A = this chain, B = another copy of it.
Amino acid sequence: MYLALAGGVGGARLARGLCTLLAPEDLTIAVNTGDDFVHCGLRICPDLDTVMYTLAGRGNPNTGWGLAGESWRTFGALDRLGGPAWFRLGDEDLATHLRRTHLLAEGASLSEATRQLCDAFGLSHAIAPMTDDPAPTVVHTDEGPLAFQDYFVRRRCEPPVRHIDYSAAERATPSAALWQALHSPRLRAIIVCPSNPYLSIEPFLSLRGVRSALEEASVPVIVVSPIVGGDAVKGPAAKIMRELGVDSSAIEIAKFYSRLADGIAIDDCDAALAPAIAAVGLRAHVGPTLMKDTQGQVRVAQSVLDFASLLAGAQTDKGHA
């Protein structure tokens, strides 16, 4: 059994590849909820939705968020009423938020609400929030502290980041699905998807017991680098790295995870970085990491699973095993 830690677009794409290769009972996909917020009364979970829509084959490939073939009647009317236009709400996407909010109001946990939504979208693989507790990430910028979506969507990641606050996640308990997968005797590897380390993965690591579970894991922990050729495939990861004073390089990604991970999958175009990554203490696996289409997603997933097998075979060499 494999555990994948996923943020938004990159996480969703690798998750889709893994779902193609692994049976539902052999994969747990845990998803960042540090981006979640309540907007106009609705509980919105952007990363959970991106993963769910992507796995259902319903996601909008152009935006990376929302549903394909969406209409905007409610959003247009909301705009005319002077409502907040910075967060776009598609008509069909709205139903997801309404249903989730309704389930939570009825007393369901976020895990249970996610399970019901995934069932309704016809998914067979398990998607779980990283936690059922509130765990909002706060981004401290030159414009002051910003709630995540204020930073990410309203301000389009423009204000330079100075510091990121995970204190809500530090008080949160991992979801049952995440915790059980981390401690399952069937676990064969933990896969950190190519997601933003600061905005998507650090929230996981801030949850009680998760960082130490990865540090002490007896199975390989593999990171797929979200930095390819010195830039982020999508999103502000490279920009934030530079603002925080580190190079936007797969080497820095390896350093970020050096105490937690055993190996890092880097793109073919970054093959020359392998020696420097070895110096950080991680095995580098050079292969494909781009996942524009389903074929690419399966190819990368297979490459990552092959790397996991390789590392599992070399398990006795693990520095921290």
Contact = CB atoms under 8 A, between A and B. Distances in A.
A204 to B, nearest CB: 26
Contact residues on A (Cβ < 8 Å of other chain), bracket: 20 to 34
* Stoichiometry, copies per complex: 2
A89 B287 CA distance: 49
Interface stretch (A38-46, A179-187, A249-257, A276-284): A38-46
Interface string A151-168: 000000000000000000
A40 B74 contact: no
A120 interface: yes
A40 B99 contact: yes
A71 interface: yes
Contacts of A91: 73-74, 77, 91
A84 interface: yes
Given A73-B91, A74-B95, A92-B74, A120 B81 contact: yes
B74 A99 contact: no
Interface of A: 38-43, 71, 73-78, 80-84, 89, 91-92, 94-99, 101-102, 105, 116-117, 120-121
11 contacts: A41-B102, A71-B73, A73-B92, A74-B91, A74-B94, A75-B95, A77-B96, A81-B117, A81-B120, A83-B99, A84-B102
